[in-house]
Chains A and B, each alone.
Chain A
Amino acid sequence: METSIQWLPEIFDENSSLKFRSPFHTFLIKVASLCNLNCSYCYVYNSPDKSWEWKPTFLQDVTVNQISFRIREHVIKHDIDEITIIFHGGEPLLAGLDRLKTYVQIFSSVIPCKVLYGMQTNGTLLDKNFVDFFIQNNFRVGYSLDGPKEYNDKNRLYHSGKSSYDDTVRAIELVHSNSESLKTFGGLLFVIDINYEPAEILNTIKELGVKCANLILPDGHYESPPPYLSKNDLKYGKWLYDFFYLWYNKYPEIEIPYLEQIITMMIGGFSSAEEIGSLSVDFIVIDTNGDIEAVDTLKIVGREATSLNLNVEYNSLDDALKHPAIFSRMSGFNSLCKECQACEYLSNCGGGYIPHRYSKENGFQNTSVYCNDLKYLFLKMKEYLFVKQ
């Protein structure tokens, strides 16, 4: 399939990568192409890819039907017994309860296998009716909050400039108010800033009664590096290790999946997350207009990386499996650059997160823009947790 971006190395072992191919099991569906917040770091609305401006504001019934039948086709062809559909945005709650109910009704009636539902939201619009809907349909819902109010307010504001902190906290408290609604709580997601104090973030998580919270590195790549990133001073690596050390010693009851995945990989296991490790990525993004995309965070690179020129109206999901943006992430280590393939931390890292590897010159054939920082983190964690051999 034609693409101007270098997704694969010049010497790519197609045959040995075939065994890593997989059908899709998770479908991240964009149900709203707008957001009530204007987060400064947003990879959708504050990115070079402005396609949201012309995409339908909400997923239309006709598109939901097309998506459902494409998933049905995929499930039957590959004999899949369980899939996950994640409602995403923009802000998915903006779609409103009636639309969400319709989406679930269509997906559940058309797709001939077990369907599990999830959502990632800022929570500001959450009310009891949404919570009841989540309970009835066994949703798992993640909420985005960057720690204490002072930190959260740095980036996560309404378009008016007003803080969103209290509204998101109210949502988290609502979900934690009884055992049934708590079952729908998937966890908290926070974007780190190396100027934040790890203790303040962990204290906030603990005070909210949250048992699982995941950290996310700021988006960035070689053409648009993350804030404060410098090749030599390892600020991110040091911050991450400080965070790890404090969490490990004072807050071990809180699950921090990113760090726990790293530990699991260090003892021979695997990361189940796409941003670290190298297992096959078996998910696909479908936008409000039916466009099929590899991963939405590639919007930070630009439209040329996001668009696969595929749409559920004309293309099957198997068509997407043939695109290098997709199968490069189902190729084990074969699709990584030479430097990654030769790295001693390859099995801990897997080349890092794909958007972090982009440069104009080499496409995705680079180490992560966070490479040195990640190496530092791996080294320090190994030194702390394990006996030196």
Chain B
Amino acid sequence: MKTNQSTAVVENTLNTFQSEVKFNSDNAPAENPIILRALGRLKESQIKENPHAGFKNHGSHNTHSKSLW
């Protein structure tokens, strides 16, 4: 199930790991498609003004319809 991203939630759940994290360039080079997608999702996560903006597609989903993600 896709979930709501209110400003309050963003403030509460942004973790401290973000400021400390550095990708291991051997295992996680910037051109890796998975890393690129993760960075894209990070940007989406940081869209605070519109709770539902930035998602890849339309749907919220629960676990048993999560292929709609």
Query: A and B bound?
Result: yes
Task: Count residues on chain B whose CB falls below 8 Å from chain A CBs.
Answer: 51
B-binding segment of A5-13, A124-132, A192-200, A257-265: A257-265
Whether the Cβ atoms of B37 and A187 lie closer than 8 Å is no
**Could you tell me if A279 and B41 are in contact, using CB atoms closer than 8 angstroms?**
no
Q: Which B residues are CB-close (under 8 A) to A216? A: 63-64, 66
Q: Is the interface of A mostly helix, strand, loop or mixed?
A: mixed
Chain B: minimal CB distance from A234 (Å): 21
Q: CA A144 – CA B38 in complex, angstroms?
A: 24
Residue of B nearest to A285 (CB): B62
Is A281 located at the chain interface by the 8 A CB criterion? yes
Among B28, B58, B62, the most chain A Cβ lie within 10 Å of the Cβ of: B62
Q: A94-102, A223-231, A269-277, A360-368: which lies at the B interface?
A: A269-277
How many contacts A-B (CB < 8 Å)?
216
How many angstroms between the C-alpha atoms of A253 and B28 in the bound complex? 14
Interface residues of A in 24-69 (CB under 8 A from B): 25-26, 28, 43
B51 CB, min distance to chain A CBs, angstroms: 7
Residues of A within 8 A of B22 (CB): 386-387, 389
Contacts of A311 in B (CB 8 A): none
B6 touches A280 (CB 8 A): yes
Smallest beta-carbon distance B46→chain A, Å: 7
What residue of chain A has the Cβ atom nearest to residue B65's Cβ? A120
* Residues from chain B with Cβ under 8 Å of A283 in the complex: 1-2, 60-62
Q: A25 vs B52: C-alpha distance in the bound complex, in angstroms? A: 9
Q: Is the CB of A269 within 8 A of B66?
A: no
A264→B45 contact, CB < 8 A: yes
Minimum CB–CB distance from B52 to chain A (whole Å) comes to 6
Q: In the assembly, what is the distance between CA of A88 and CA of B65, in Å? A: 8
A204 adjacent to chain B (CB < 8 Å) = no
Cβ contact within 8 Å between B3 and A384? no
| Docked-complex contact A267 and B65, CB < 8 angstroms | no
Q: Is A288 interfacial (CB-CB < 8 Å)?
A: no
CA distance A296 to B1 in the complex (A): 11
B65–A384 CB distance below 8 A: no
* Chain B residues positioned under 8 Å from A28 (CB to CB): 62, 65
Asked whether B1 lies within 8 Å of A280 as measured between CB atoms, the reply is no
Any B CB within 8 A of the CB of A153: no
Known: A142-B68, A268-B17. A274 touches B3 (CB 8 A): yes
